[in-house]
Amino acid sequence: VSGCNSESRGALVVLEGLDRSGKTSQSSRLLTYLEGLGHSVELWRFPDRSTNVGQMISSYLSNKSQLDDHTIHLLFSANRWEKRSLMETKLKTGTTLIVDRYSYSGVAFSSAKGLGDEWCKAPEIGLLAPDLVLYLDIQPEKAAERGGYGGEKYEQLEFQRKVAQCYQVLHDASWMIVDACRPIEDIEKQLQELVLECVMACQKGKPLAN
């Protein structure tokens, strides 16, 4: 880190929540919003199914392959690590990243299976810390009603209840809990304000953390 590093950087904004909580809908609306304001912004998602690791994850999620719980956990983490340096470059060169799921999903879903919290968190150490985490809060029962689950591995009400509990102990100072049961447009407006404030803070030189 050099002393002349005062140029503005992009913000790392993460959306988290249960399956069907509305992350993808809101991520793409945020992208459109920030682009409209003239910001440099990209939409990312984890798992990133386009890489070799991501294809193994995708095959597991669609029940085409089976993996030990620890193994799939490490693959999800590896899938974030393989994008880490590109993520840093983008942020440092002024591009804001809207990221649909991140480390919190990794920890919440694996600890919901019974793996230890500390073990689950360990491989995430050293990844970039989000500037803002938007947690789309919805009851598992309500999420399940939204068009039904698509049949992927974790899309079962009983399991989603456990995931919701596991998310509750992961909150940190970067989190904003957003009521995700309201109309899409109401949530969208709230997220726009929160994200704009965060983008401005990063432009003014808020440091990027691990």
**Chain residues 109-138 in contact with ligand T5A, contact rule CB under 6 A:** 109
175 touches ligand T5A by CB under 6 A: no
147 touches ligand T5A by CB under 6 A: yes
User: Shortest distance, CB of residue 137 to ligand T5A, whole angstroms?
Assistant: 11
21 touches ligand T5A by CB under 6 A: yes
Amino acid identity for residue 63 in this structure = N
60 touches ligand T5A by CB under 6 A: no
Residue 115 binds which of ligand T5A, Na ion, none (CB < 5-8 A, kind-dependent): none
Selected binder of ligand T5A within 30, 101, 137, 167 (CB under 6 A)? 101
User: Shortest distance, CB of residue 19 to Na ion, whole angstroms?
Assistant: 8
The residue among 116, 111, 46 whose CA lies nearest residue 78 is 46
| Cβ atoms of 175 and 182 closer than 8 Å | no
24 touches Na ion by CB under 5 A: yes
User: Shortest distance, CB of residue 161 to ligand T5A, whole angstroms?
Assistant: 14
146 touches ligand T5A by CB under 6 A: yes
Site residues (vs Na ion, CB under 5 A): 24
Site residues (vs ligand T5A, CB under 6 A): 17, 19-25, 46-47, 61, 76, 101, 105-106, 109, 146-147, 154, 183-184, 187
